[in-house]
Amino acid sequence: MKSLILQTATRSLVAVMLLFSIFLLLRGHDEPGGGFIGGLVGAAAFALYAIAFDVQSARRMLGIRPQMMIAIGLAMAGGAGIISLLASEPYFAHLWYHTEVPGFGEIHLGTFLLFDIGVFLVVIGVTLLVILTLSEE
Amino acid sequence: METLMAILIGGLFASGIYLMLRRSIVKLAIGLVLLSQSANLTIFTVAGLTRGNPPLVPEGETMPLVPYADPLPQALVLTAIVIGFGVLAFTLVLVKRVYQTVGTDDMDEMRSTDGFKD
Amino acid sequence: MSHDLLVALPIVIPLVTGVIALLFYEQRETQRIISAIGAAALLIAGIALLLEVRAEGILVSDMGGWPAPFGIPFVADLLSAVLVMMTGLIAFTVALYSLATMDPRRESFGFYPLFHILLMGIAGSFLTGDMFNLFVWFEVMLIASFVLIALGGERAQLEGAIKYVALNLISSAILLAAIGLLYGVAGTLNMADLGMKLQDVDEPWLVTAIGMLFLVSFGIKAAIFPMFFWLPASYHTPPIAVTALVAALLSKVGVYALIRAFTLIFTQETGYTHQILLVVAGLTMVTGVLGAVAQYEVRKLLSFHIISQIGYMLVGLAILSPLALAGSIFYIVHNMVTKTNLFLISGAAYRLQGTYELKQLGSLYRYHPYISALFFVSAMALAGMPPFSGFFAKLTLVRGSLEVEHYIIVAVALFTSVLTLFSMTKIWTEGYWTPSEAEENDELPPGVNSWPGWNSQMLAMFVPIIILAALSVGMGIFAQPVISLLIETAEQLLEPSLYIEAVIGDES
């Protein structure tokens, strides 16, 4: 199916959706949001691209095999737990790092962020692996 | 409300099981989806349907405003939906592969591995 | 080492191994090395955990630092520790074996990452102290096993997989609904907290009804009567390494969940629930072994035996006396070792003779006496002949049952034993003694009956078999220390307050 309207809209929509997915991911730090729904929106962007154009170009746009994305995501999410173990804390006890950035205010970073980014990547990877596998052939 | 939900859940379970008893594996997959959704609804209903505030502590307070909803069943249902989503994706791929390999979606034609002599 | 680390390691090691293997998706050789190292590390972590639990009592680690009953605890009591160690052992031997037998195509489609994710799910199920978390680990394990069983995409595999997937998903849906109902009744899902709160509920029948839902759900996963039909339809279809792994571990996770639930949580009306368990155990034993007696394909025959042996594992749970429960746990341990080994040996025989059909295997004993000896040890251990492990497992179980005067179940167990011996003898005479038809007519295909010599592939294949056979003998000859450990385990299980105290603490 090749629709000019869909393809034109997709070009601009994909960028907005990807941006929105990252917004959702980072918003999850303190408020409702997070890696899971961020990842779903991100995967939806690639899926839309695959529908409007074709699976091959969606894979090219992704630039990395979904399997690899799952692996990196799992490594980050699991690694976040292992950092706590190395610090003699229970598995997945999140560690926080507070700092003052001049002109920006206080920020706090934690192993939790690493975990959330990992989830984000895993969700995109798994969803795309399934969607792209099903729509090929 | 609980009665209504109970009837709905019962109906979903029944339809799920009915679909699973059909011979087509596509209907089997749909039946599985209905089954897992009715299980999710069960958790949601049993834990109590309260109309209330989100279970977040407002600024300057130490407790959420009463009445607030129990967040745990919602977390459970969300997790179960995510898992159900993953499993469903796999089931779909499997059904497709089975159809391609065996050439039919009739369960009765897939008895070569059952371990009983014909 | 800190307790938090020890309890988390059996889950973290397979996760790390799986992820590293996934990162090297394109390099098969690297994946093979990583997989073997990871499985060995899991075994070491399991042994360390068991030693520590035996010395220090129940270990608890609150995941994420949230105290129980609000957070999710990982709890290692003796039962969990024993089973985690056994998981490590089976993982190590099967990982080694799969180096020799797994075909390159399956290897490059992610066999090793899936293998370790499956192990993670199993270790997680054994260690978690939260009902919903148990469901999550079940799903991790199931999804990995779904893909492992279907991986390769042969027709038989796909047909087996669809039945396996459907039945296990029904079980998951029932489990999920039961968990929801349990939360509605108790307001908590922490197993220790549940065990405490449900002891004095006003409506024990409601809890018992929920318990029956758990029985059905775990029962499907454990393949008990009358919900086992998916097992012999699917377990024999994938390559032998996968079969051995799932046969040794997956149904045991179901049994573990039953033991945990029916010793800790659902003990309100034991006269009713455990009577049902006893009847089910007896029927499982008999139907399983009757199915096995009718089979002439080694893998199918062994698959039916798995079912029959699940029955033995439930007897101790149904009787709830320390000795009988110890016998059941001994049976789980013994069965993991012997059943895996029988599958591995039949895989080796397939590698040498090219068939799983008993009628065509021919006189293995004449050409490969060493394999035959290894098979003989495992088969006799499975049938419960002295001095092998199965004898003492059965003896403990039977003595435990006699102690509380359950004579019928003893009679059923011994009858099943005889039939098990019969079907093992059948494999022996048909596959190892009687020449096949082709052999009698001198029409053997070239290469059959010849021994390829001790190359590295043969070593990777036979070292695990020899280790497991040695364990079968060892657990028989040195049965006393094993039994005393398992009686300790059973006594710990029958005293739920220990578990509750370790998880929740003293303040209640």
Average pLDDT in the B80-108 region? Answer: 87
Task: Give the tens place of pLDDT for each residue, C103-122.
Answer: 888 888 889 999 999 999 99
Task: Give the tens place of pLDDT for each residue, C288-325.
Answer: 999 888 888 888 889 999 999 999 999 999 988 899 99
Predicted pLDDT of residue B115: 55
Give the chains touching B; criterion: ≥3 Cβ pairs < 8 Å.
A, C
Residue ranges per structural domain of chain C: 272-490
* Confidence label for C214 from pLDDT (cuts 50, 70 and 90): very high
Of the given ranges (A51-55, A102-106, C341-345), which has the lowest mean pLDDT?
A102-106
**Interface residue of A91, A96, A126 to substitute, partner C, most C CBs within 10 Å:** A91
- Do the Cβ atoms of B99 and B105 come closer than 8 Å? yes
Predicted pLDDT of residue C262: 92
**Residue B76 covered by a domain:** yes
Predicted pLDDT of residue A137: 62
Residue C409: both structure tokens together: 């179940």
C175 interfaces chain A, CB cutoff of 8 Å: no
Residue among C11, C19, C64 minimizing CB distance to A90: C64
Contact residues, chain B to chain A, C-beta under 8 Å: 82, 86, 89-90, 92-93, 96
> Between B29 and C431, where is the model more confident?
B29
Burial of C226 (0-12, 13-18, 19+ CB in 10 A): exposed
* Spatial separation of the C-alpha atoms in residues C299 and C292, rounded to whole Å: 10
Of the given ranges (A15-24, C229-238, C240-249), which has the lowest mean pLDDT?
C229-238
Looking at this predicted complex, what is its ipTM? 0.92
Average pLDDT in the C389-410 region? Answer: 89
Which chain C residues are closer than 8 Å to A130 by Cβ? none
Residue among B82, B86, B96 minimizing CB distance to A134: B96
Q: Is the pLDDT of residue C507 over 70?
A: no
CA nearest to A128 within chain B: B89
Q: Is the pLDDT of residue C70 over 70?
A: yes
Which chain C residues are closer than 8 Å to A85 by Cβ? 4-5, 8, 12
Angle value at C-alpha B18, between B12 and C246, nearest 5 degrees: 95
* Spatial separation of the C-alpha atoms in residues A81 and A65, rounded to whole Å: 25
* Confidence label for C1 from pLDDT (cuts 50, 70 and 90): low
C1 interfaces chain A, CB cutoff of 8 Å: no
CATH of the domain at B37: 1.10.287.3510
Residues 6+ apart with CB under 8 A from C371: C345, C348, C349, C352, C364
Structural domain that includes position B22: 2-53+68-107
Amino acid at A122: V
Task: Give the tens place of pLDDT for each residue, C245-288.
Answer: 999 999 899 999 999 999 999 888 888 888 999 999 999 999 99
Amino acid at C155: R
- Do the Cβ atoms of C317 and C262 come closer than 8 Å? yes
**3-class state of residue B57 by DSSP:** coil
**Residue B116 covered by a domain:** no
* Confidence label for B118 from pLDDT (cuts 50, 70 and 90): very low
Which chain C residues are closer than 8 Å to A88 by Cβ? 2, 4-5
Q: What is the DSSP letter of C445?
A: P
Q: Calculate how close chain B gets to A83, using CA atoms only, in Å.
A: 24
* Spatial separation of the C-alpha atoms in residues B113 and C12, rounded to whole Å: 36
Predicted pLDDT of residue C448: 64
Q: Is the pLDDT of residue C137 over 90?
A: yes
Which alpha helices (DSSP H) does C270-319 contain, by range? 270-293, 298-319
Average pLDDT in the B81-93 region? Answer: 88
Average pLDDT in the C403-431 region? Answer: 89
How many domains are contained in chain B? 1
Task: Give the tens place of pLDDT for each residue, C444-464.
Answer: 665 666 677 778 888 888 899
DSSP annotation string for C356-401: -BHHHH--HHHH-HHHHHHHHHHHHHHHT-TTSHHHHHHHHHHHHH
**Residue B30 covered by a domain:** yes
